[in-house]
Amino acid sequence: MAIIALHSAASGLQALSTQLDVISNNLANANNNGFKSSRVNFEDLIYQYQQVPGTKDELGDTRPTGIAVGLGTRVAGTQLDMAQGAPITTGRQLDVCIEGDGMFQMKVLPSQGNGLAYTRTGSFFINDQGNLVLDSQNGYMLDPQIKVPANTTDLSITTDGRVMATVAGTNTQQQVGQIQLAHFTNPQGLLQIGGNMYQQTDASGPPTLVDPGQPGAGTLLQGAIEASNVDPVTQLVDLIKTQRTFELNSQSIQAADQMLQTVANLRH
Amino acid sequence: MLYGLYLSAAGMQAQEVRQSIISNNLANAQTAGFKRDLAMMQSRLQASQEDPKMVPYAVPTLRNQGGGVSMSGVGVDLTQGPLEQTHNQTDVALDGRGFFEVKGAKDGEVNLTRDGRFLLNQDGTLVTAGSGRPVLSSDGQPIVLNPALPMKVMADGTITQGDGSTGVKLGLTDVADQKDLVKLGENLMTVSKKDALTPMSGTTQVRQFTLEQSGVDPIVEIVGMMEGQRAFEANAKLISYQDTTLSELNTIGKVA
């Protein structure tokens, strides 16, 4: 019956509404520093074969094609776009932008995964203990931990991740720590836990901690922060495509519905 | 008389299958690398020809009666889909004929896809983004890359990393006759017979940072849908007429 058409159109509507959700979230985070946009990947569902290619007909001829009716579409997955966001110069000493791959490793609550999470948002603060913490509601601490001496007057972070402090009363810089970046084999397999934080999964593979500038990790830029990599133009074009395709699929439902009505009215 | 009733019913059935195929095309209007299906209909042979062994009809005019319509098959329309730029270095698209080879569900089996949304899994193996199937090289082996280094895909499908000294080539193949393609879902296809695969033609180019969008053209599909629905209704109307005629016949035959 036209029931197959109804269901494949419905599968399209479902997948497209997921796409709308993802685009809305991307646009909502267009000004969220360090945010990475996601895209929805579609794939076709299985095909119902009413006749397999190569079957013989009544006259013994081999049919060159089969009759396959596809059953619609589904969301195969959402994929993170790990492209670099533009560095925005803030001039703030504790803003650090990663230019290239890699992520800051943060200590989170032990109940969250294995107690470690990863972020691209390098907006740090110094807490009451002198530790570098993230500008998040929970004040997650950078790992490996970096302790800044209490009477520091100036702090500089080199491109390769060395944190140099100038203590009051001296003119020389001393190294107080080394920022390391985590690198994943498949960063698109990370788990998004909100707060611009990601956690490792079996799909992402374990992190490799390396100094900035080493293969797989970018370099650091002090006094800048990475802007969201959401491109509003692309998102709006996708939004238009999503909405129109949604309408097209609702047309399929209407057509199937009217055909069913025709059948229902066959007999007077 | 009754014969016509079945012809109209066959018409409705064929249009209904066509409508399901159009619905599936429209549902996949955003599926990367999707190729639209084409419902092919043909008029059936005359009843006497369709089954020669059948006892000849008593009424000579019925022998030449047309057999109505049937679905002859579903073709895959391999028209190039529009190419879209992306930021992802593992997004590749084919500009021209051909398919990427990916590992099939069974060992030694090769599936085909036009969907070039690949990524590196936890082992550094290049896999399809949806189903995680390893993408095969021209030697039929999975492609393992160093995730720490950027990759470059040449127009002929050769992937190089770092200094460019190591090169592995994407497995590409073409199908001589698109009638041999069998769709499997998950954006994968296979062929109904082994010898259907042919080497790639030289004109196809592999493009990195690019995705091939769905080959579905909404205008074509909506027009087909309108056409199909009206043909369906026309056949339904004919069934109604024939029903009315039959009911007239019944009243004539009634004994007072």
pLDDT of residue B170: 94
The model's pTM is 0.86
Q: Which residues does chain B have within 8 Å of residue A58's beta carbon, measured at their own beta carbons?
A: 50-51
Q: Do A188 and B180 touch (CB under 8 A)?
A: no
How many domains, chain A?
2
Residues A234 and A222 grouped into a single domain: no
pLDDT at B120 over 60: yes
Q: Do A76 and B130 touch (CB under 8 A)?
A: yes
Pairing mode, if any, of strands B158-161 and B151-153? antiparallel
Give which of A7, A42, A79, A82 to mutate to test B binding, by max B Cβ within 10 Å. A42
Q: What is the CA radius of gyration of chain B?
A: 26
Residues A100 and A163 grouped into a single domain: yes
Residues A98 and A199 grouped into a single domain: yes
C-alpha–C-alpha distance, residues B174 and B142, integer Å: 19
Residues A95 and A178 grouped into a single domain: yes
pLDDT at B253 over 70: no
Instruction: Please list the pLDDT of chain A residue by residue as tens digits (268 residues).
Output: 578 899 999 999 999 999 999 999 999 999 999 999 999 999 999 998 888 777 776 677 777 778 889 999 999 999 999 999 999 999 999 999 999 999 999 998 888 888 899 999 999 999 888 899 987 667 789 988 999 998 888 999 999 999 999 988 888 889 999 999 999 999 999 999 988 999 999 999 999 999 999 888 999 999 999 999 999 999 999 999 999 999 999 999 999 999 999 998 887 7
pLDDT of residue B254: 65
B160 touches chain A (CB under 8 A): no
Backbone angles phi, psi at B203, to 5 degrees: -85, -15
C-alpha–C-alpha distance, residues A44 and A12, integer Å: 10
A134, β-bridge pairs: A124
Residues A103 and A189 grouped into a single domain: yes
pLDDT of residue B48: 64
Q: Do A53 and B73 touch (CB under 8 A)?
A: yes
Residues A56 and A155 grouped into a single domain: no
pLDDT in tens, B211-220: 999 999 999 9
Q: Do B19 and A46 touch (CB under 8 A)?
A: no
pLDDT band at B1 (very low <50, low <70, confident <90, very high): low
Give which of A14, A17, A40, A73 to mutate to test B binding, by max B Cβ within 10 Å. A73
B144 touches chain A (CB under 8 A): no
Q: Once rounded to an integer, what is the mean pLDDT over residues B123-128? A: 93
Residues A195 and A259 grouped into a single domain: no
Residues A95 and A217 grouped into a single domain: yes
Q: Are B46 and B18 in contact (CB under 8 A)?
A: no
Residues A175 and A102 grouped into a single domain: yes
Q: Which residues does chain B have within 8 Å of residue A81's beta carbon, measured at their own beta carbons?
A: 86-88
Please state the three-class secondary structure of B64-133 as a single string.
CCCCCEEEEEEEECCCCCCEEECCCCCEEEEECCCEEEEECCCCCCEEEECCCEEEECCCCEEEECCCCC
Give which of B23, B36, B181 to mutate to test A binding, by max A Cβ within 10 Å. B23
- Nearest Cα to B117, choosing from A230, A231, A41? A41
pLDDT band at B54 (very low <50, low <70, confident <90, very high): low
B123 touches chain A (CB under 8 A): yes
Q: Once rounded to an integer, what is the mean pLDDT over residues B41-58? A: 66
Distance from CA of B124 to the nearest CA of A (A): 6
Q: Do A248 and B129 touch (CB under 8 A)?
A: no
pLDDT of residue A133: 92
- Domain, as residue range, for A180: 87-226
C-alpha–C-alpha distance, residues A76 and B119, integer Å: 14
pLDDT of residue B183: 92
- Count CB pairs under 8 A between chains A and B: 223
Q: Do A42 and B28 touch (CB under 8 A)?
A: yes
pLDDT band at B231 (very low <50, low <70, confident <90, very high): very high
pLDDT band at B131 (very low <50, low <70, confident <90, very high): confident
Q: Which residues does chain A have within 8 Å of residue B234's beta carbon, measured at their own beta carbons?
A: none
Residues A146 and A251 grouped into a single domain: no
Tell me which residue in A11, A186, A267 faces B121 most closely, judged by beta carbons.
A186
C-alpha–C-alpha distance, residues B58 and B213, integer Å: 57
Q: Once rounded to an integer, what is the mean pLDDT over residues B44-60? A: 62
Give which of B28, B51, B112 to mutate to test A binding, by max A Cβ within 10 Å. B28
Residues A206 and A156 grouped into a single domain: yes
pLDDT band at B23 (very low <50, low <70, confident <90, very high): very high
Residues A92 and A201 grouped into a single domain: yes
pLDDT in tens, B195-208: 888 888 778 999 99
pLDDT band at B248 (very low <50, low <70, confident <90, very high): confident
Q: Once rounded to an integer, what is the mean pLDDT over residues B4-11? A: 89
Q: Which residues does chain A have within 8 Å of residue B226's beta carbon, measured at their own beta carbons?
A: 255
Distance from CA of B245 to the nearest CA of A (A): 13
Residue of A nearest to B75 (CA): A65
